Amino acid sequence: MIANRPSVFVIPLLYSLLSIICVVFSSVTFANPKHQHLENIPYMKISELPTTSPTQTYTYGQNEHQYIAFWAGKGSTKKAPIIMIHGGCWLSVFDMQHSIAQANGLAAEGHDVYSLEYRRTGKSGGGWPATFEDVQMGILHVINMLDKDVMMLNLIGHSAGGHLALLAASDIQRHLASAERDDIRLNVVGLAAITDIAQYARGDNSCQKVTKDFMQGMPEQVPASYFMANPIHIPLTDSAISNVILLQGDADTIVPVRQARHPHGQTVIVPNAGHFDWLHPQSVAFGQLLEVLR
């Protein structure tokens, strides 16, 4: 038995080395170079990313902020189109510019991408409910533009845009019916989405503090408005909805992890992901987003 003891240690050691070699070669062979392991990315890094202009833009209203930027999906294999709603605390100072790299990254993966611009709190003339009405109008405009062979549609929203996307999803069957597209099914993805706006308004970070401006008051002052604008109170059981997935980073300091919940949604927590990781095509979080898209 003593003579055989070295093999007890050598064989597992060789197995471990072989496993490491396989992992290394697997990473080189199968890893997508677009998706590096970037985590907890600051906003400045997002603003420094190179971007490409839209393939085309469409207007869905008379206001200069009521338009849709479209990027055609790349490659021979087309995936389900995406309607995306950018975040930015519902504020006019944050337009879709900060989300263009995200749109570019999604188009590079084969998705046609329709990014909605909309009126927001401040100079652009938004606020509740005008901002939400814009989003509904924009979504309906996109649905009317889709090819007849489109059967699945991704609706995604980041942060405040996630809040608006979830609200819009609750009424999507009506829009599909008006466009005579009852055949379409919706895959809804919230990215650090604000699911409980009343709870969010009571927070003390910079984005939470301006929620009252978007809602024109605090929950105690305009309770009916907060109830109507709160995704957590609204069923996401429409027959057109195939999935509701809430992606959330546990390093997010702008939208707390406790916001990633809805009785009709699935929550996925991404370790070490910050608030802006979803916008960076080379982040771990972006890779997770690609996994849940149709």
What is the mean pLDDT of the segment spanning 213-238? 97
pLDDT at 13 over 90: no
| CA–CA dist 50, 125 (Å, integer) | 29
pLDDT (0 to 100) of residue 22: 35
What is the mean pLDDT of the segment spanning 128-152? 97
Asked if 250 and 276 touch (Cβ cutoff 8 Å), the reply is: no
pLDDT at 137 over 80: yes
pLDDT at 73 over 50: yes
Give the model confidence (pLDDT) of 149-161 as tens digits.
999 999 999 999 9
Give the model confidence (pLDDT) of 177-211 as tens digits.
999 999 999 999 999 999 999 999 999 999 999 99
pLDDT (0 to 100) of residue 102: 98
**Could you tell me what percent of the chain has a pLDDT over 90?**
85
CATH superfamily of 38-292: Alpha/Beta hydrolase fold, catalytic domain (3.40.50.1820)
Asked if 116 and 126 touch (Cβ cutoff 8 Å), the reply is: no
| CA–CA dist 87, 210 (Å, integer) | 13
Q: Could you give phi then psi for residue 2, rounded to 5 degrees?
A: -65, -35
pLDDT (0 to 100) of residue 162: 98
What is the mean pLDDT of the segment spanning 233-237? 94
For the chain, the structural domain boundaries read 1-31, 38-292
pLDDT at 76 over 90: no
| CA–CA dist 171, 100 (Å, integer) | 27
| CA–CA dist 11, 9 (Å, integer) | 6
Confidence of residue 236 (pLDDT cuts 50, 70, 90): very high
Beta strands in 12-144 (DSSP E): 56-59, 67-71, 79-85, 111-116
| CA–CA dist 282, 220 (Å, integer) | 42
